[in-house]
Amino acid sequence: MFGDRDTQRLLSALAGSKRPVDVANVTIDGLGPIFGSRVRGVFFFDAAYRTIETNLCGMRDVDFDEYEAHWRPLDRVQSLVLERQIPMHNAQVYSEGQLKTDPIYADYGRRVRIYRYLCAPLYGSRAELHGMLRVCRGPDDRPFESKDLALITALGGYISSALARVNAPSAQEQARICVALTGRELEVARLAASGHDNRQIALHLGVARETVKQTLRRVYQRLGVRCRAEMAAWLARQLLI
C-alpha cells in the first residue's frame, strides 16, 4: 500500500514534523499527487464539530466560506463521516444520477470544479474526533474506489499519530496516565492498536476471546474512547505504541 514514492515521501515528511502546522502543511502537499486531487484540505474542529482551522489547497477562501455558510448542512458525506467516524466518498452516498442533480454538486460543485469527494476523520490529542481530511476530484476524473478508502484510512492513522506525537504530554502526565490501565489492559490495547483482532489477541495471550472483548470494553471506558482507531490515537499520543 505504501510502496509508491509519493506516499513514502509523505510518511517521511510526517516523521520529521515538529509542530501541528508542519503536519498539516506536509499533509496538504502529499495528498495531491497521492490521490490525483487538485483540491484538498486538512480541517480542525471544536467540540461541536465546527471548523476552527482550515488548511486548503486549490480552493479560494471565499469558496470555502460559502460551503461552510450554505452547503455544509446539506453535505451528507461529511455528516455520515462525523456520525460513523469512518472514511467515505460520495459515490457511497449518491448514485451518479443523484450527483448530477443534487444542488451541492450541480450548483456549488460545478462552480468550484468539485465532483468526486472523499473525506476521512482525524483524531486529536485525547483521541477525540478532531478534524478531517478531504480530497476532491473534478467531473472528468475517475471516481474514488475501495483502494482509495483503504489508503486514506491508513494515512489518516499516520497523520493522527503525527499530530499526537507533536502534542505529546510531559513525562509527569504520561506517568499519571499509565496508572489508569493495568498491565494486562495495556498489553491488550497495544495489540489491538497494532491491528490484531480479538481472536489473534486471545491466541497470543492464551485467554478466551470474551476476556479480550471485556478487557477492551474496560479500556474504552477508562480512556473515554469509542473505537480502536480512537484508542490507537490515544495510545500514540501517550507514546505507548
User: What nine digits make up the cell of 3?
Assistant: 510502496
Same domain, 130 and 51: yes
Query: How much is the CA Rg of the chain, to the nearest whole Å?
Result: 19
Same domain, 83 and 195: no
Q: How high is the pLDDT of residue 169?
A: 56
Which one of 166, 192, 216 terminates a domain? Answer: 166
* Domain around 194: 171-237
Closest of 87, 102, 179, 164 to residue 133, by C-alpha: 87
Q: b or e along 107-129 (b: 16 or more beta carbons within 10 Å of the residue's beta carbon)? A: ebbeebbbbbbbbbbbbbbebeb
Q: How high is the pLDDT of residue 20?
A: 82
Q: Residues in the chain with pLDDT < 50? A: none
**233 CB contacts (<8 Å, ≥6 apart)?**
123, 124, 127, 157, 160, 161, 164
Same domain, 30 and 48: yes
Report the CATH number at residue 188: 1.10.10.10
Distance spanning both ends of the chain, measured CA to CA: 21
Residues shown for the chain: 241
| Rounded Cα gap, residues 31 and 49, in angstroms | 23
Same domain, 132 and 39: yes
Same domain, 142 and 181: no
Same domain, 131 and 180: no
Which one of 133, 166, 199 terminates a domain? Answer: 166
Whether the CA torsion 137, 138, 140, 144 is positive or negative: it is: positive
Same domain, 109 and 125: yes
Which one of 132, 149, 166 terminates a domain? Answer: 166
Sheet containing 129-137: give its strands across. Answer: 51-57, 39-45, 129-137, 116-123, 88-89
Q: How high is the pLDDT of residue 208?
A: 92
Report the CATH number at residue 63: 3.30.450.40
Same domain, 87 and 19: yes
Same domain, 190 and 91: no
Same domain, 132 and 26: yes
Q: How high is the pLDDT of residue 134?
A: 95
User: What nine digits make up the cell of 89?
Assistant: 466518498
Same domain, 158 and 39: yes
Q: Where are the beta strands (DSSP E) in the chain?
A: 39-45, 51-57, 88-89, 116-123, 129-137
Residue-wise pLDDT tens digits, 6-46: 999 999 999 999 888 899 999 999 999 999 999 999 998 87
Same domain, 213 and 123: no
Do the Cβ atoms of 224 and 217 come closer than 8 Å? no
Which residue type does 60 have?
R
The structural domain count of the chain equals 2
